[in-house]
Structure 1
Amino acid sequence: MSKLYLVPTPIGNLKDITFRAIEVLQEADLILAEDTRTSGKLLKHFNITTQMHSHHMHNEHKTTEGIVKRIQAGETIALISDAGTPAISDPGFLLTRACVEAGIEVDCLPGATAFVPALVNSGLPNDKFVFEGFLPVKKGRQTRLQLLAEETRTIIFYESPHKLVKSLTQFVDYFGADRQISVSREITKLHEETIRGTVAEVLAHYEAKPPKGEIVVIVGGKK
């Protein structure tokens, strides 16, 4: 039966892919990839020869309708992002919504996503949390931080290495220097690390040692 598969891919260590993910990618009629060059390395590693097309934030508005029609015509299509679970701060939502509205079956496989190990590993409360992804770059950023300053649940952010110090500096201003925080970097990769402490302590660490790689920031909620 034709359907859309959302297939998580490793965020670092290639061994984190599941047997089922490999099977789905091998048997699909087409793989939609955020970056075909990046995904090509993954597929080559697992000897997956399925045809790929690019599907990313810059073209998804134009390609979604055609993809829906292909599935309706009988094809099974798998969507992957560069790393992690599609639609989590990556393309995937628009296509998923379009398929649901068209009555197409959507199957999301369980698998790698960066914020879950970062949250569990943080030592901060994880019974209730809010996922914010990337903060707005400019417009709406201060307003968002003002609202989150009153949030009592643990807050999860994604951040790029060249913006981390700026964000931590703003966290001092909006959340307070003593708010507990955990920063996980390069999860599952060779240089994986987690730095925990107050916002001020973690800021001082990264001011002295500029970060590299993919970053997840976990901020404790307001007491």
Structure 2
Amino acid sequence: MDFERDDKDLNNPRKVDFDDLQNEVAGRQTGRQARFMPAGEASPEAERKKREAERAFRTQLELLLPDPAYREKYNSVMDALQQAEQAIQAVLDDLTRMIRETEQTIQDMEDNAAKLPDGTLVFRDANGLVRRADGSVVEDHLAETIIWTGNEPGYEDYRSAQDRIDALKASQKETQRYRDNTLGPARDRMSDEDNPPSSDELDGILGTIRQEMPKAVKEHTTENPEPAPAAERTTDISLPSLGG
């Protein structure tokens, strides 16, 4: 058949039929229902394009996960990451509460503390010396001006509370730094489905999560990771208890 003379007539039925047949054979989509090829039958070229399209919708991570060894390692890292993230929230909640309580304790102590004529807070230590909040000893002639009620907090109690608030805030900063500088990047890396971490990289991520984990966070995790070498451990900030 000669269709050249019909090229200008886009509504020519024979021209439309011919084009549709060629498109179906080649596997090209026309937006119209197939009319000539049997249902389910397509050309090799069409099948190839279909397979490529299906692969395009699968991420690189989906292509790696069927490997049992990779999947086990990937899931182990994700479990450790999730446990650390949950522990972080619990630790920060506890620290926020303890900081608030300790600040109130300090405020109560300062409200009940004795004062010099200029308003400087002073405390009597266990040896009977009168000290300012910074630990300096009050001169005798100034100490004689103080009126004691007997309800004043001792210097050791006040210093213990101050040391405690300093340690709590330091632990809070360390925990937040671990969350932002370690867990955050780890979560971003593990979530990159188009460029997932290699098996070796997974080992590195897991090692970093465990080695840089603060002691307070470790105590909230359900697993018990191996301790990091001494040179790689973060500073262990102990929290002094309030008391005399």
Fold shared per TM-score above 0.5: no
Structure possessing the higher radius of gyration over alpha carbons: 2
Higher share of residues assigned strand: 1
Query: Structure 2 length as normaliser, TM-score?
Result: 0.17
Higher helix share: 2
